Amino acid sequence: MKQVYSVIAIILSFLSTAHAESWEAVIPAVEKRAAFYLSEAHRLGYANTSKSDVDYLDYYREDHKCGILGRMLDLADVVADDERLGTPRIADNLSNNEVVQLFAAGRTLESWVMQAKHALSQTKEERVQHWNQSCAESESLNYAPRLLIADVPSFNAFALLNSKNSNLKTSVHPIAMPDFEGRDKSARMFRTRIRDGLAEGANFNEHYSLITFGCGTSCVISYITDTRTGKVFEPPFGGESTPELAIEFKLDSNLIQVIHMGDTSEECQVRAWSFDGKSFKLEGEDVFAREGSCNYGQKLVSK
């Protein structure tokens, strides 16, 4: 039954423009669509006498909670695979089963609206707490990460001026390789790793490639290379000085969030760096008690 209508495609059509469309605008629109589906189902003969007497509000509540919290906490990519899509057919000649599905779609959207309103009324701290309790490490969400609220800026705060959304398309141009015999000779030891990473194209700050590779137990080396010029930059993190390193970055932002072991083995250090194409600037930092590993199953959320 869960494959019928857990999240209707109309929701995602609104939220695909999440940066431009506020939740306050999305919720009434979905609420209106839910009422339309229900009224059409009753007009076409739905009379609460079939298997759809199952309470859809209860049945889909947890799916909606995680989907909505994930989107509000910038985890749309994490929850997307768990959102079932479907739109009911609307016509005057629907079969009894199609009328049931139309009713189910309306009830499912009602459940979504209820959860969205609840999540919107929460503080970010409460959303993170509920995510960690109900959604993190869930098998249905492919073991989604636990979240840490840190005193660091968000990626949106450092979004590129020419970027309208996270689907930024980079300009088509030949990828330039580094000059390992001259300008970039300090990175020559890792030339194969860097070349292989560059071959995959830009993944950070529009036309840069942020490349990482292991250097032993709990050790990660990182480099940033300009795909247009081949110039290599060494970030202020990576190597043995930042063990248990985890790095978050995006194509449409010039911010990098990192988490690694702190000054002692009992803490995790969180930092956010911006990169302007020339140098790195520390934009925020925080410290947490270390539980397990600093680089496993955790994701940062800005305060």
51-79: per-residue pLDDT in tens? 545 555 555 666 788 888 988 888 888 88
Q: What total of structural domains would you count in the chain?
A: 2
Given 144, 167, 185, which residue is the final one in a domain? 144
Residue 167 predicted with pLDDT over 70 = no
First to last CA, the chain: 38
Same domain, 276 and 215: yes
Range of the domain at 190: 148-302
Same domain, 221 and 90: no
Residue 17 predicted with pLDDT over 50 = no
Given 94, 120, 144, which residue is the final one in a domain? 144
Cα 232 to Cα 208: distance, rounded to the nearest angstrom: 10
Q: Which is nearest to 175 in space by CA: 203, 205, 204, 198?
A: 198
Residue 99 predicted with pLDDT over 60 = yes
Same domain, 169 and 276: yes
Residue-wise pLDDT for 26-54, tens only, equals 899 989 999 999 999 999 988 775 554 55
Same domain, 85 and 163: no
Average pLDDT score, the chain: 84
Give the pLDDT score at 165: 45
Instruction: State mean pLDDT over 75-87.
Output: 72
Same domain, 247 and 114: no
Please tell me which residue, 239 or 61, carries the higher pLDDT value: 239
Residue 19 predicted with pLDDT over 80 = no
Same domain, 128 and 154: no
Tell me whether residue 206 is in a domain. Answer: yes
Tell me whether residue 117 is in a domain. Answer: yes
Given 144, 177, 192, which residue is the final one in a domain? 144
Instruction: State mean pLDDT over 117-141.
Output: 90
Same domain, 175 and 192: yes
Residue 128 predicted with pLDDT over 70 = yes
Same domain, 155 and 138: no
Instruction: State mean pLDDT over 102-117.
Output: 87
Same domain, 161 and 220: yes
Give the pLDDT score at 4: 38
Q: Is-contact 42 100, C-beta < 8 A?
A: no
